[in-house]
Amino acid sequence: MAKTYAQYYLLKRRQMNEELWLNGIYVANAFQTVLGNAFSKRKLKYLEKPLDIFEKTEAEKQHEIRKERQKLIDWLNHLKQFSNKKQGVD
């Protein structure tokens, strides 16, 4: 029974360590944002959503890939339109 409590204690300590580590990442990002905005001309934004710390399923990975691919296609199409306008091509 003492071994079970020791294992539970170790597990709780590891969880706490990971929570504190993750909290440190958020704090570091907050400081980076504040200091970057104070001393830089380029304005930085704090994280828009929580960090994703969990393993993604294959379906989620594929969805993310499709989403990023579509963003790239949209950006390239925008670039092509801009280039055509600059060259006077309709």
Quick one: pLDDT at residue 89? 67
How far apart CA 74 and CA 81 sit, in angstroms, is 11
Chain-centre distance for alpha carbon 31: 16
Kind and range of the H or E run holding 16: helix 2-39
Quick one: pLDDT at residue 52? 83
Quick one: pLDDT at residue 53? 81
Quick one: pLDDT at residue 8? 93
Quick one: pLDDT at residue 85? 85
How far apart CA 89 and CA 27 sit, in angstroms, is 50
pLDDT tens for the chain, 90 residues long, are 788 999 999 999 999 999 999 999 999 999 999 999 999 888 889 989 888 888 889 999 999 999 999 999 999 999 999 888 888 765
C-alpha dist (Å) from residue 69 to 64, 72, 73, 76: 8, 5, 6, 11
Query: Phi, psi (5° rounding) for residue 14?
Result: -65, -40
Count the alpha carbons within 13 Å of 38 in the hemisphere toward its beta carbon.
Answer: 6
